């Protein structure tokens, strides 16, 4: 038997009499190398969810978005860029600490979803607008039943997703005056060029979805 399931997962399978079903599913859908269909599905996505854990085992999950095709697969390695964020570096710090990652790709229109679990490493970047790249060596890749996925229609690209030259508008929250003195110099200069916002005004924009 493989080590795909943990002892605790096995205990739950036994509790609900699904061990045989779980084994059959692993046999049929779990694989460690990206298929052409997997790669094509990932290439069409413009977002995914990333789960990581820190050195103490505490998890965090993040939404990662970009232009369609910002996640690439080659030589059985998945690679995606780390764009400018909030400066907390939860995901990148966790990857540096444990390397363990889980990625969830969803198409809300079809619907369909693909899960990737593996070990990741940070790769230095010389690409404008990209702080670093994350390269993932997969340990397990599998689809999930789509029955609980609500259908949503895509409306538009996020205006802050970096373009081909890496440029993007300044994040609205970085213009809030209480953050101005702790911004990195590049961000502070960009904010100075367009002006700061008071907290109340910024929150009004935020609640209207103006990021």
pLDDT band with cut points at 50, 70 and 90 for residue 160: confident
pTM of this prediction exceeds 0.85: yes
pLDDT score at 8: 97
**Whether residue 187 has pLDDT greater than 80:** yes
**Whether residue 190 has pLDDT greater than 70:** yes
Strands (E), the chain: 47-53, 59-65, 72-74, 77-82, 100-107, 112-124, 132-143
**In this predicted model, what pLDDT tens digit does every residue of 73-91 receive, in sequence order?**
999 999 999 999 999 999 9
| Domains within the chain, CATH numbers bracketed | 31-143 (2.30.110.10), 172-207 (no CATH)
Q: Kindly provide the b/e burial profile for residues 67-80, where b requires at least 16 CB atoms within 10 angstroms of the residue's own CB.
A: eeebbebeeeebbb
The residue with greater pLDDT, 3 or 93, is: 93
**Whether residue 1 has pLDDT greater than 70:** no
pLDDT score at 198: 92
């Amino acid at each position: 038997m493989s080590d795909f399931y943990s002892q605790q997962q096995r205990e739950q399978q036994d509790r609900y009499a699904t061990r045989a079903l779980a084994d059959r599913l692993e046999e049929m859908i779990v694989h460690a190398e990206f298929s052409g269909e997997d790669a094509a599905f990932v290439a069409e996505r413009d977002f995914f969810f990333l789960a990581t854990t820190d050195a103490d085992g505490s998890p965090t999950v993040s939404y990662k978005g970009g232009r369609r095709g910002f996640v690439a697969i080659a030589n059985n390695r998945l690679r995606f860029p780390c764009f400018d964020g909030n400066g907390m570096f939860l995901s990148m710090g966790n990857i540096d600490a444990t390397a363990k990652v889980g990625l969830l790709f969803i198409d809300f229109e079809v619907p369909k979803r693909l899960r990737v679990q593996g070990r990741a490493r940070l790769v230095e970047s010389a690409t404008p607008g990209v702080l670093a790249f994350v390269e993932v060596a997969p340990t397990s890749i599998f689809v999930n039943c789509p029955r609980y996925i609500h259908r949503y229609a895509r409306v538009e690209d996020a205006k802050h997703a970096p373009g081909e030259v890496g440029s993007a508008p300044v994040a609205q929250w970085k213009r809030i005056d209480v953050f101005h003195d702790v911004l990195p110099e590049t961000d502070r200069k960009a904010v100075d060029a367009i002006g700061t916002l008071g907290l109340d005004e910024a929150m009004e924009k935020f609640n209207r979805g103006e990021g």
